[in-house]
Structure formats: C-alpha cells, structure tokens
Structure 1
C-alpha cells in the first residue's frame, strides 16, 4: 500500500466518521475534502473541482426544480385529495393507494418532498378513519424509498451510477431501465406492508413536547369564525353583474366581507383576489364572511340576486390549498393604531381582508368593523396564499406573526397545473426517446415550467437542495483519488479473491449488502459515489457486463429501510408515526433481505451478465 493510498483511505475514514457524527454538516465535510485532496497532491485543483461541471449534478438540480413546480401548481396535493376520496374508509385500500401514489409521484420528483406532502394528508385521513398513524407512516416512507427504484431520475444515486457507466465508456441506463425491477419490488412492498402493519399498530404514541404549528382550524376557533362563512353564486339576473366589487360596497353597507371569488375557467374553478376594481360576472361564486350578527340573509340574497351554495368543513377549509390566513399584529410605532378595520385599507393595498380581531386573547365579534385598534391587538387576515406570502416584510406598520401549517400545502400557481404536467411530459418524452441528453431534457423541462409561470426564479433557486449538490461534488473526487492511487483495484482484488470462486451471483449479493450497510451511516448518494466504481471494476475483473453490477449498487443505495436515520424519508415519518428506532429495525431488516434476494435474482435476468 503506497503512502498516497494510505492518506486517501485515512481521509475517507475520517469523512465517513464525520458523516456519522453529523458534525460539522455533511456539505461542510465535502468542502473540506475538496480542499484536502489537492493540498496533499493526490489530485490537481481542476480534478478536485471537476464535479461542479458534472452533468449529473446539473441534472439533479434541475429535477429539484421540476419537483417544486409540481408542488407549486398543486399537482402533488391534488393526488393526496384523490387518495382521500378513493380510500372510502377502507384501511387496506388506503394503504395500497397511498403506496402506489407516493411511488408514482416519487419516480419523477424528490421522494423526500413527496413524503413531506403526504404526511399531513395521511394524518388527516388516519384521524377520520380512526386508524393509528403508525400503521400508515412507515408504508409511506417505504413507498418513497421504493420510488427511487422506478426510473432513472427518481433519485440521485441512479444518476450517479449512470454517469459512472458513461465515464467508463458505456451507454448508461435508459429512463425505464429500473422500472421492471422497481415494479416487482413495489408490489412486494405493498404486500409486505399489508402484513407488517399489524406490528406497527401497537407503536406507542407518546405526546410530543415540541410546540406544534397552529393550523387553520386553530385560527378559526380562536377568532370565532365558524358559522360566519357563506358561499354565494351570482345569478344571471343579479344587479351585481358588470359592477366592480368596490361599487357594490357589501362590507360597509351590509357587513358582508368578500374573502375570495371563484370564477370558472376552462379546466377548473380559479380563485381570484377580491380587489376593488374587479368586475363581477354571472356565475361567479363569492366566498363571504358575515360580520354583522343576525343579518337578514334572505333579504341579502333577494336584493343582490345571490344563490346560496353548500359548504364543506369550517370557514372555507375545503379551499385551504388556495385560500389561507395569517395573524398580524401592530407594533407601538404603527401608523395604523387608532384606526378602525374599515380604515386600514388592507384589501386595496395587499389584496387581503381583515376578518378577525383578538384583544387580550379574546376574539372581538360584535363591532369588529368599527373597533379602534390598540397596541397588542392581533388581526386575522384572509386571502390567497400568494398575497399572504407577499405581505411578509412589506410594511413597517404591522408584523406578520405566523403562518399556519397549511401554508406548506398551498399551491400559489394552481391554475398552471396543466402546464406543469405538460412540462413534465415533455421532459420524460425527451429522456425516453434519447433525442437529447438527459440533462438537456431536464433543463428544457425547467425552462417550460418557468415560461408557463409554474415556478419563478426565486422559487426555483430555493427548491434546489444545495447541501445535496455540494455533497455529491465533494464526494466525486474520492472515486478518482481511489482510482489513481490503486484503492479501487485493491478493493476489487480482495472482493474477487474472497468471492470470485462462488460465482457472480454471490458477488452481486455481497455488493448489495456492502452498499446497504454503508448507506446506514452516510447518505445514499455518497454511498453510490463510492461503490459505483468498485462495482464496475469488479465486473471487468470477472469479465462480466458492468450493467448488472452497477444496477445492484443503485438499487441497494435506495434500500435504506433498516433504520430511521438511514434516509431523510424515514426521519420525516419518525415523529408523526410515533416510532422507536427498533420499529424500523424490526420491519426494515427483513424487507431489505427480501429486496436483496429479488434484486440478485432479477437483475442478471434483465441485464445479462455476459
């Protein structure tokens, strides 16, 4: 063993140890590696920084943006709503549909993001069906992990392994190369969780001590809004048709506040902000808040030509993905102190309506419109999530105290959902056809998302998980350093000497097991970076095709089922599912063994060894 190889191995061991300790952060450790390798003379500066120009890094960044576009347009959330509708109070059907939906969506966007979207959906469904969340949260995380085995772009390790094949002169994997194996593992995962859920239903649900974010239902209760909401359609013979909302003056004359307006578009109802100059049309549906207690509703309907419609839930909660709330308080130097709610001008300036006022922790209902504001008063404003987000930091006369938990589910570009699906379809079509390289197909998808206003530049940059990209860039030089110093050759010699006589199937099983075990301690992306060169070199030493060996590493990198810390997906459900560490070990280890057996048998059949 030469001194340079010894140094690289010591640096690798130190890096893995720091990853396990998570001190400092993994991306910081990766940057330290980028500095240490060229300073020691193992690599040149250009070789160390080559990862920043790697197509796989750009592709992964672009896929983060595509996934954010699906979230912002509400595509992901609508799948959750569909799941709730189709489950129909049947736990078995819910579990099957949940895993299929999560795996399908996770095959084209970040599995971590998909699981984060579905957690509140599953909690709500579980509460309605009176099912322990523990019986659903682990199936949710397992489906998120399995989604990484369905397509080339489903998870960064797949892209990393594909890029390593290309660097070695191969053609790489196709978009659907993983799909046959992934579908088998998904079917096995669904069947397994239908049996394993009985082990999860008894998981202790200990109350958490951490403060929970307030939800819309909390705000509705605290400000006593329930029962004040109405949903009114403007009839064709209504005198409101053709008038602007400012001309109608429903708020000042009838104590009726228009919170939002539903207007039917070509494909779906569109939510409009109630600006004063908005012209009303026949068929518009007004979402209104009744300030004045004891209002003569029949007279209101008759006078303005309005038709009442049914409502679901409390205070427009069925529109929570488009219409939201925020609490606002007035600081001592605010120019709004002493003014009434009517005098504030929130609708004209910010597109929001003030519907609630709390003073000394008590909600003020009667006389709300005329109450003079004091220091310490808290106002509740209602409007579109876009307007609420823009409210933050816009004025010195008020402070936005908090946003409810539902802001994470909001879809600020909901009307662009068809265009988001079109952009996604174009990207997938380009990748499948091979007309352009995958990285260009993903960038074209991003540009289409931006052109259709599914996502803006600020949201696109925020969507990219820079820590993951820096981690990949920092770990890529290790593969080159091990290759230059003879480390990969040494590892392959040891593996072939140990298992070469047992046949390629035993080598594949050993590679899967080794990759899965390393993935318990460091990220699956870093594991793929380290193991892909070893797998390909091992295939060459055995005189076999590199594709089944590379595929095994990619599948094993996604098989992070064994502990709650082996993947961010598992960590996300740990709290909501009230799991302990041993729950994942008890359920995850047997399933990992099953996945290994299936992978070792199927991969050589689909991708011949010779």
Structure 2
C-alpha cells in the first residue's frame, strides 16, 4: 500500500468518523477532508474548489430554487388538496399521500415536499383517529423513496451520474429501477408496514396530538393561584394533564417540589403540558405564559394566535436559544413552549438550545407567524394556509419546472444548463422574489457536495477506490458478481442510515466502479446500486432530514424507526437487485 493510499484512507477514516459522530456540521467535515487532501498533496490547490462549478452542484442549487418557487406560489399545496381524497379509508388515504409525496420528491427537494405535506398528514391522522406518527413516518419514507425516480430527485443521484464512464446518467435513466422500487415500497408500507410504526399517542386531546411541551408559568400578584398549594393547583386542573416539574422563587429552584408548598406571587412554575392544557390553566388561574410578556394596552387580543411549528433541518434557529434569538424584539413573536421527541427537554425555556425537529408553540399575529415560518424554515402543524396562492404564478412556476425537466430529459441542453435556464425564467417572471432566491440555496448541502467531489476523485487517482473494491470483492462477495452487487447496495444503505446520503454516494461511487472493474462487470449496475442504497436512510432519525423532521410531531424516539425501516430496506433489496440485473446487466 503506497503512501498516498495510506494518506487518503486516513483522511477518509476521519471524514466518515466525523459524519458518524455528528458533533460537527456535515459541510465542515467535508471541508476538512478537502483541505486535508490539498495540504497532503492529494488534490492540487488549483483544483480544490472546482467542485463548486461542477454540473452536479449547479444542478442541485438550481433545483432547490425551482422547488422553492413551487412552494412559494402555492402550486404544490393546490395540487395536494386536489389529488388527495377527501373521504377515504386508511389504506387508500395513506397510499395516496405517500404516492403524492414520492411524485413531488422525484422533481423537487425532498425536504420541501415533506414540509408542504406535513400539515395535510396531521389533518389526515386526525380524521382517521390515528396517532400522527402512523401517517408521518409513511409520508417521510415515501418522500425519500421518490428521490430514486429521476436524476434530480436527490443529490446522490447527481453525484452518482457523474461517475458513469460512458457519459452521465440522463433524467429518466433512474426511472426503470427507481419507479418500481418506489411503488413496491409504498405498497408494502401502506398494506403491511404501517403496523411496524410504534404507536406514540399522547395522553391529551389537542387537535394535532404532537406531544407535551416544556414551558414556564409566571404567577402575577392578582392570580387566583396565589396561596394555593401545588397539590391543590394540580387538583383544580384535573383532566387538563399538566405536571409541575420545578418551582423557581427568586434565585432558588426546587425540582419536583413537594405538593404542600404554597404558590406565591412572582413564582415561576416549570410545567410539562399539552398546548390546550397550557392555555386552559393560564386562563383559569390568570397566570401568564412566560413567553407572552406584558401586553400593550392597545393590543387587540383577537389579532394574536397560538400556532405550532416544527423546526426544519437547516433552520437558522437551530443551535440558538430563545434569549439569544430575541424573537419578540426582532420578529414580534413569543416562544411559549418547546417539545422534543415526544418528551420534555431539559433546562429553562429561555436558555434551551433549539434542535432540528423541535416543536415550538409560538404566539403572534397570523401574518407575522407566516412570514416567520417561511424565512426561518419552520413547518406549521395546522392546516390554515400561510398565504393565498397566486394561481397564475403557481401555473407559471409549474410550467418552468416542467420545461426544465423536459429540456434536460430530451438532451436539448445539459441538466445544469437546463435548470439554470429555469432559474433565470423564475427571476424574470417573479415567481420567486429575489430575496427568496438565495435563501432557497441549502448552503451546507452545496458546500458538502462541492468539497467531496475532489476527495472522491483523489480516491480514484491514488488507486484507493480499487484497493477497497478488491477487499470487498475478495472478503465479502467471494468473487461472485451478483453477491458483489448486493454487498454494494447493502453497505451503501448502512452508511446512508448514519451519515449524509450525498456523502455516502461520493464515498461509495468510486468503490463501486472499482468493484465493477475487478469483476469485469458493467459499471452502470453497480452505480445504480449506490444510487438506490443512498436513498434508503430508513433506520434512524439522523439518516435523512425528513426522518429528523417528524421526530417531534410524531412523538418518536431514536429507536422507533428501525422496525419499519429494516423491513422496507429488505423489500427494496429484493425488488431492486433483479431489476438492476434486468435493466443494466452485470
């Protein structure tokens, strides 16, 4: 083994370890790998940042912008409400929701499709009298599987396409395998797999049943709670499902306070409750929810609403506390409570660091909350429309996306140029305001892709990919081509479950090429196995952003995904391997 091979293996080990650890941002880990390759001479400094101009990266950026235009104009919302059956049973309703999610994800950002359909999924769960998680997990998995269907369905497809020796995969080259696999997966989940989704039904009866919140109640001097013991206070709220976790009096904090302690003016009660319980207890005892603050005398209470939101991965709120964000000063909204993974987070509300998938109970004017959600990547969990769709612009945004897809599909222009033209049309027609255009770019994903492309090239140029391929062929596949194909698919699945799927594709694609060369097999089938495997992040909430997004609303825990996820991955292996052999050969 040569020195360059040992060096790139060491860098690769650190990069993959950084992805698995999760302590640092994925884009930062990818940049570390790139800089390390430059410093050690594996990547020429002149080529270090060529990834930012790579067609795959440009295409991803353009698709993100066109997806945001579809969201902003309300095109997807109109489509969803027309396509989904208003009165249908569980099987047809869940299958239709998953099918729509998959169809949208085939042409737009997966997370965007999930965010748009989440409120409808929660509404559907309420109509069917189901815990929201039993609809949200199938929807999340459906949107992930939809990425398998086209070139632009998910960033890993674009990465894999560039490794094909005889020219990149085209728009619908993935469809021959991806579409049957997605349909089989949807059918399995809708018919059988939903039984493997853990039932996480909160105790209360709030409309969306999204779990309990941690919040603070401040007791003013004129409150009816003053003088009551904590036991009496809880007794008067019987049936409201509120639990007192701590009492703060001045600088003193008492966790799990004794029921005989009397409530005094100025006390702060840290409680766990559902949204309905919070408002009911506050109204009954004239207690202020700590996030509300003092209202101005001319403030009209009727103009203010309570609304629940889930934090999207990548939101600028993540990693910061309410106190740092200064929400009331900067946005005119109040953070009343936070829920996390169906349980209470620890700490004071003002200093609690927010995480992806958290549920936020916010108070403010409806239009302000709508703007807040759009600008800071929050998903509303009610079904009230955030804005009135402009039908003309909705059709225009849809036409622009369709035109870009067709131009790329028929090879009239390369995909990057076709979708860049779509972005230009979006700017000229105003279907997406210019201020929104650059916000649509998912910076971490762009940087991650651009940084890893040169690293993947270094793996090939140093012969490290071939070295790893030889080991996988000899040790795992025993020289059998079909077995090697299964190994590539399964290993890619495993990696995708614990680290970013684009990073997985960048690492596995050169190895798959090496395995194909070792066995004298066609590269296309092995690259297709990487593409399918990279879209199979079903075992953990960290494998895909859509899995993370449903943690709070579904009340899920980390270990709730693997039962359905493992069964679904087994179905995908059973369906995809014969299809890959049939379509692409070995």
Question: Could you tell which deviates more after superposition, 142-151 or 402-411?
Answer: 402-411
What is aligned with 1:56? 56
Shift of residue 598, structure 1, vs aligned partner: 1.4
Equivalent residue of 1:164, what SS?
coil
Query: Which residue of structure 1 lines up, in the alignment, with residue 140 of structure 2?
Result: 141
Could you tell me which runs of 5 or more consecutive residues in structure 1 were left unpaired when the two chains were aligned: 213-359, 363-372, 383-395
Residue pair 2:499, 2:542 contacting (<8 A) in 1 also: no
Structure 2 counterpart SS, 1:131: coil
1:424 — aligned with what? 401
- Rounded to whole Å, the distance in 2 between the matches of 1:560 and 1:66 is 25
Residues 1:377 and 2:299 are matched in the alignment: yes
Map 1:395-410 → 2, pairs under 5 A: 400-401=332-333, 402=364, 404=366, 408=373, 410=386
Is the Cα contact below 8 Å between 1:413 and 1:455 reproduced in 2? no
Note if contact 1:16-1:521 (Cα within 8 Å) is conserved in structure 2: no
Q: State the match for 1:28 in structure 2.
A: 28
Give yes or no for contact 2:541–2:551 (8 Å, CA) kept in 1: yes
Q: Tell me the secondary structure at the aligned position of residue 140 of structure 2.
A: helix
TM-score by length of 1: 0.67
8 A Cα contact 1:516 1:557, kept in partner:
yes
Q: TM-score, normalised by structure 2?
A: 0.70
Residue 108 of structure 1 corresponds to 107
Cα pair 2:477 2:487 within 8 Å, conserved: no
- Counterpart CA distance in 2 for 1:494 and 1:122 is 45
Name the structure 1 match of 2:573.
596
Instruction: Please say if 1:197 is aligned against 2:194.
Output: yes
Q: Is the 8 A contact 2:459 2:510 kept in 1?
A: no
1:14 Cα deviation after fit: 1.5
Which residue of structure 1 lines up, in the alignment, with residue 287 of structure 2? none
Aligned residue in 2 for 1:265: none
Matched, 1:164 2:96: no
Alignment partners' CA distance in 1, 2:154 and 2:492: 16
Cα–Cα, structure 1 residues 28 and 500, in superposed 2: closer, same or farther, change >3 Å?
A: closer
State the secondary structure of the residue aligned to 2:332: strand
Deviation for aligned residue 1:499: 5.4
- 1:49 is displaced (CA, Å) by 1.6
Contact 1:149 1:179 in 2 (8 A): yes
Deviates more, 1:14-23 or 1:428-437: 14-23
2:175 maps to what in 1? 179
Quote the Cα distance in structure 1 between the aligned partners of 2:534 and 2:399.
Answer: 31
* Cα distance change of structure 1 residues 203 and 159 upon mapping to structure 2, 3 Å threshold: same
Q: Which residue of 2 aligns with 1:414?
A: 390
Aligned runs of 1:500-579 on 2, under 5 Å?
A: 502-579=479-556
Structure 1's 403 and 488: CA in aligned 2 closer, same or farther, altered over 3 A?
farther
Distance, in Å, in 2 between the alignment partners of 1:125 and 1:446 is 34
C-alpha contact 2:80 2:117 (8 A) present in aligned 1: yes
1:439-483: CA deviations, max 9, x gaps? Answer: 011111111222221112211100110100111112122212222
- Partners of 1:399 and 1:546 lie apart in 2 by 53
Aligned-pair CA distance for 1:35: 2.1
C-alpha change, 1:361 and 1:139, in structure 2 (3 Å) is closer
**Corresponding residue pairs, total:** 435
- In structure 2, stretches of 5+ residues that fail to align are 204-209, 216-281, 285-294, 305-327, 334-363, 374-384
Instruction: Please state how far the C-alpha of 1:125 moved relative to its aligned partner.
Output: 2.3
Structure of greater Rg:
1
Distance 2:19 2:36 in 1: 16
CA deviation vs aligned residue, 1:60-103 (integer Å, no higher than 9, x gap)? 0000001001001101111332255x140422211111011101
Distance 1:134 1:438, change over 3 A: same
| TM-fit CA distance, 1:30 | 1.9
Instruction: Give the match's secondary structure for 2:167.
Output: coil
Alignment partner, residue 127 of structure 2: 128
CA RMSD between the two structures: 2.6
How far residue 568 of structure 1 moved from its aligned partner, in angstroms, is 0.8
Does the Cα contact within 8 Å between 2:469 and 2:515 map onto a contact in 1? yes
